[in-house]
Amino acid sequence: MTIKEIAKLAGVSVSTVSKIVNGKDENINIDTRNRVLKIVKEYNYSPYSFVKNISLAKTFNIAVVLKASSANFPLINGILDTAKSLNYQVTLVYNNSSEDELMSITALCKNRADGLIWEQFDSNSEMSRKQLDDNNTPYICINSETDSSITNINFTKLGELATGSLIQKKHQKIAYITNNKFKQDNEFFEGFKQCLFQNTISYSDSMYINHLDSQLIDTLLINDFTAAICSSREVALTIYEQLDRLHRKIPRDFSLVCLQGDLTAEYAYPKISHLEIPYYTYGQFLCNYLIEDLEKLSHKEVSFDLPDTVINDLSIDIPRTIRSKHIVVVGSIHMDINLNVKEAPQAGKSIEAVHCAFNPGGKGANQAVGVSKLGKDVFLIGKVGNDYEGTIILDFLNKNDVNIHGITRDKYVDTGKAFIHILEDGESSITFYPAANNQLTPEDIDRNLCSFKNARFCLLQTEIPLKTFERAAEIAKANNVQIILKPSAVPNISDRLLAMLDYFIPNEKEINYLCPKLSTPEEQTAYFIEKGVKNVILTAGHNGCYLRTRDIFRHFPALAFTPVDTTGAADAFIAALSVYLSEDHPITEAIQYATCAAGFCITREGVTSAMIDRISLETYMSKQRSLM
C-alpha cells in the first residue's frame, strides 16, 4: 500500500495524507483527518524511510510501561482489547528499577512509540519524564500522585462504597484492617472514614488495625466489632481463617468485605464479599484517553468514573446483635456412653450390655442442638478437655450450627462423660463424670457477656458449679434475658436464684427431692411460685406435664410415642419450649410443641441425634390438629 493509494482511497491529495501521518495537520478538517487515519490504520501503512521528518510519522504503536511487580492482567487486557479495536499495536515493558525504566523509555522514544501508558517506578522517574518531554512523546500516568487525578482510580470512593455496604446492613462497629502493602491504602482508608462521617458514626483510632498477629481476633472481640473492611483479599483470608479456628462463622457471627484487585475472586474459596477494583475498565479508559490525545480528538470521558458496583452478600449479614433474638445455653457438655442392658446395674452383680454407642451429650449440648435443629440461633457456653472426645464434640456441635465460641478447652482435665444404662422399656439410669464441666467458672461467663446481648432466653442446668450458673442467671437478668432452669443433681436452690427464674422445669424425682414435704403436683408447683418463680412446668414422663403460673394450673397429657431411650426427653422439651416462646407463641401452645418434641426424642437412641427438626415437628403438629 503506497501513499498514493491511501490518498485515492481517502479521496484526498498525497500532500494531505503526508501532513496527517507526519503530525502537521493543524489546518486540516477534523473529519478529513479522521477518515485518513482510519484508512492508514486499517491498511497498516507506514511512510517510506526517505519521507522528510520521519521521526514525526505515526507508527500506531503505543507502549505500556509497568513495574515488574505490577502483573496486573485485568488492566493490561483492558488496554490490549481497546488498542486492538482502534487498530493500534501495543508494546508491553516491565521494569525492575528506575535505571531499567530510563533505558526502556529511551528505546521506546528511539523506536517512535506514538505514546505511553506509564506506571512510574518511583520518585527517581524524573529523567524518564524529561526523555519523553524532549522527544515530544505523549504519555499518561497510572494512578499518579503528581499528575492530574482525572486519570486516577478514585480509591477514596471505593472505600466509601465498601464501608457503605456494611452500614446498609446496619453495622455500626466496623474495623478497618490492613497489612500496609497496598499502595493506595491511605486513600481507601480515607473513604472508610468519610463514609462513617456521612452516616454520623464516630471514628476512633481503635477502628484502625494494622497487625495480623495472634492478637487480631482478641482486638476485634474486645472492641465488639461486628464487621471489618479489609484492604486486600489476603487480609480478609487471615481474619476468615482465625475466626474459623474459633468456630465463628462468616457471615453469621462476623461480616467481611475486602478490596479485590483481579477477576479471580468469583472463583476463589472461601467466598468473601469483595469490591472489585475496576482495572479492566480503567485500562480501557487509559487507552482511549491516550489515543484520543494522539489523534487530537475531544475526550469522550474527561475523567475515570467508577462503574456501577454491587457488593454481594457472600460474607455480609446484619449484625448478630440485631437479628431475631437468639438463645444462650449455659451447661454441661460430655460424651455419652450409651449401654443397652436388660436390667439395671446392682451392687455385687455384673451385667452384660447388648449394645454400646458413643454420642456427644450433656444437658447443655443436648439443649443447644435441639434449639439449632428447630432453626434458632444458639450460643453455647461450656467447657471440654483438650482431648479426643473434646475435639469430636466441638466438631459435632459446629456441624449442627451451634455457636461454640463460648466453649473453652481445659488442657488439665478430661472431657466429661456420662455412662447411660438404657433398659428395654426405654427408662435409663446415668452415672455422670463431670470432669471439665466442674471447671466452668463465673469468669468464663463474664468472658462471654456479648452472647447475652439480644438474647431472648438463657437455658441453665445444674450439672455445672452452682456459682457459675448463678452468675449466668445474674448476667441474663441484667440483660433482660428470660431464664429457664432445669434442676438435676442439685441438693437445693437458693430463694435468690428462684426469684430470678422465668421458667422452672423439674421432673417428678427432682421436685420431690427439692420439696419433700409436699406430695401433689398442685402443692409442689405452687411452692415454687410462692418463692418467686414466674412459671413452673413439672414434667411427668408418660403422664405428660403440669403448668403452674400465678393464675392457672393445667395438665397437658403426653402423646402416644413408644419409648426407646428416655434420656433426652427433658432436653428436647426445653429446647422446643424456648424456641416457640421466643417467637411469641402462647405458653400453652409452646408446651404442646415441646411435648411433641420430647415424644419424638424418646423414639430413638441417643439424645442429640434424636432431636427433631422444625419441618418434621410442625408437619406432625399440623396433622394432629387436623384430626381433632
Cβ neighbors of 241 (< 8 A, separation 6 or more) are none
Please tell me the pTM assigned to this model.
0.61
Q: What is the pLDDT of residue 1?
A: 62
Same domain, 103 and 228: no
Same domain, 135 and 180: no
Q: How far apart are CA 503 and CA 590, in angstroms?
A: 13
In this predicted model, what pLDDT tens digit does every residue of 389-400 receive, in sequence order? 999 999 999 899
Q: What is the pLDDT of residue 52?
A: 42
Is 286 among the domain residues? Answer: no
Mean pLDDT to the nearest integer, 578-586: 94
CATH code for the domain of 334:
3.40.1190.20
Is 290 among the domain residues? Answer: no
Any idea what DSSP says for residue 542?
G
Cβ neighbors of 523 (< 8 A, separation 6 or more) are none
Is 289 among the domain residues? Answer: no
Average pLDDT, the chain: 88
Domain boundary pick from 281, 301, 335: 281
pLDDT higher than threshold 50 for residue 235: yes
Give the pLDDT band (50/70/90) at residue 53.
very low
Domain boundary pick from 147, 171, 192: 147
Q: How far apart are CA 377 and CA 369, in angstroms?
A: 10
- Geometric angle at alpha carbon 131, from 126 and 135, rounded to 5°: 145
In this predicted model, what pLDDT tens digit does every residue of 205-230 receive, in sequence order? 999 999 888 888 888 888 889 999 99
Give the pLDDT band (50/70/90) at residue 445.
very high
pLDDT higher than threshold 90 for residue 534: yes
Give the pLDDT band (50/70/90) at residue 145.
low
Is 468 among the domain residues? Answer: yes
Q: What is the pLDDT of residue 55?
A: 52
Cβ neighbors of 137 (< 8 A, separation 6 or more) are 108, 109, 113, 114, 115, 116
Portion of the chain with pLDDT greater than 90, in percent = 50
Q: How far apart are CA 188 and CA 157, in angstroms?
A: 7
Q: How far apart are CA 126 and CA 272, in angstroms?
A: 41
Which string of DSSP letters, residue by residue, matches 99-164? HHHHHHHHHHHHTT-SEEEE---SGGGHHHHHHHHHTT--EEESS-SSS-GGGS--HHHHHHHHHH
Same domain, 273 and 368: no
Phi, psi of 507 (to 5 degrees): -95, -175
Same domain, 563 and 479: yes
Mean pLDDT to the nearest integer, 354-365: 89
Portion of the chain with pLDDT greater than 70, in percent = 95
Q: Which CB contacts under 8 angstroms, 24+ apart, belong to 233-241? A: 233/258, 233/259, 233/260, 233/261, 233/265, 233/268, 233/272, 233/274, 234/179, 234/181, 235/177, 235/178, 235/179, 236/272, 236/274, 236/315, 237/270, 237/272, 238/212, 239/177, 240/270, 240/272, 240/315
Q: How far apart are CA 454 and CA 367, in angstroms?
A: 19
Is 196 among the domain residues? Answer: yes
Give the pLDDT band (50/70/90) at residue 80.
very high
Is 302 among the domain residues? Answer: no
Give the pLDDT band (50/70/90) at residue 193.
very high
Helix (H) or strand (E) holding 330: strand 326-330
* Adjacent-strand bridge partners of 282: none
Q: What is the pLDDT of residue 267?
A: 61
Same domain, 120 and 176: no
For the record, the C-alpha cell of 120 comes out as 512510574
Same domain, 74 and 36: no
Question: 570-589: string of b/e by CB count within 10 Å (b at 16+)?
Answer: bbbbbbbbbbbbbeeeebee
pLDDT higher than threshold 60 for residue 83: yes
Mean pLDDT to the nearest integer, 304-329: 85
Q: How far is CA 471 from the centre of its chain?
A: 31
Full 3-state SS string of 176-239: EECCCCCCCHHHHHHHHHHHHHHCCCCCCHHHEECCCCCCHHHHHHHCCCCEEEECCHHHHHHH
pLDDT top residue among 128 and 535:
535
Neighbours of 562 (CB within 10 A): 9
Q: What is the pLDDT of residue 48?
A: 56
Measure Cα distances from 445 to 41, 376, 379, 383, 468 in Å. 75, 21, 12, 11, 7
Same domain, 486 and 601: yes
In this predicted model, what pLDDT tens digit does every residue of 249-304 receive, in sequence order? 899 889 999 998 765 655 677 889 998 889 999 999 999 999 998 988 888 888 88
Q: What is the pLDDT of residue 303?
A: 84
Do the Cβ atoms of 151 and 303 come closer than 8 Å?
yes
CATH code for the domain of 40:
1.10.260.40
Same domain, 130 and 160: no
Any idea what DSSP says for residue 346?
B
In terms of DSSP bridges, do strands 553-556 and 545-548 run parallel, antiparallel, or are they unpaired?
antiparallel
Same domain, 541 and 410: yes
Same domain, 70 and 24: no
Q: How far apart are CA 92 and CA 109, in angstroms?
A: 14
Q: What is the pLDDT of residue 51?
A: 45
Q: How far apart are CA 260 and CA 525, in angstroms?
A: 61
In terms of DSSP bridges, do strands 274-276 and 428-433 run parallel, antiparallel, or are they unpaired?
unpaired
If one counts the domains in the chain, the total is: 4
In this predicted model, what pLDDT tens digit does every residue of 106-117 receive, in sequence order? 888 888 889 999
Measure Cα distances from 248 to 213, 224, 365, 379, 540 in Å. 18, 14, 17, 11, 38
Q: How far apart are CA 174 and CA 177, in angstroms?
A: 10
Q: How far is CA 158 from the centre of its chain?
A: 20
Same domain, 65 and 42: no
Q: How far apart are CA 538 and CA 345, in angstroms?
A: 28
Same domain, 178 and 259: yes
Q: Name the nearest CA neighbour of 394 among 360, 362, 417.
A: 360
Q: How far apart are CA 206 and CA 174, in angstroms?
A: 10
Q: What is the pLDDT of residue 542?
A: 87
Domain encompassing residue 67:
61-147
Cβ neighbors of 404 (< 8 A, separation 6 or more) are 247, 380, 394, 397, 398
Is 291 among the domain residues? Answer: no
In this predicted model, what pLDDT tens digit does every residue of 5-49 receive, in sequence order? 788 888 999 899 888 888 888 889 998 998 988 888 876 676 653
CATH code for the domain of 132:
3.40.50.2300
Do the Cβ atoms of 338 and 565 come closer than 8 Å?
yes
Is 293 among the domain residues? Answer: no
Domain boundary pick from 87, 115, 147: 147
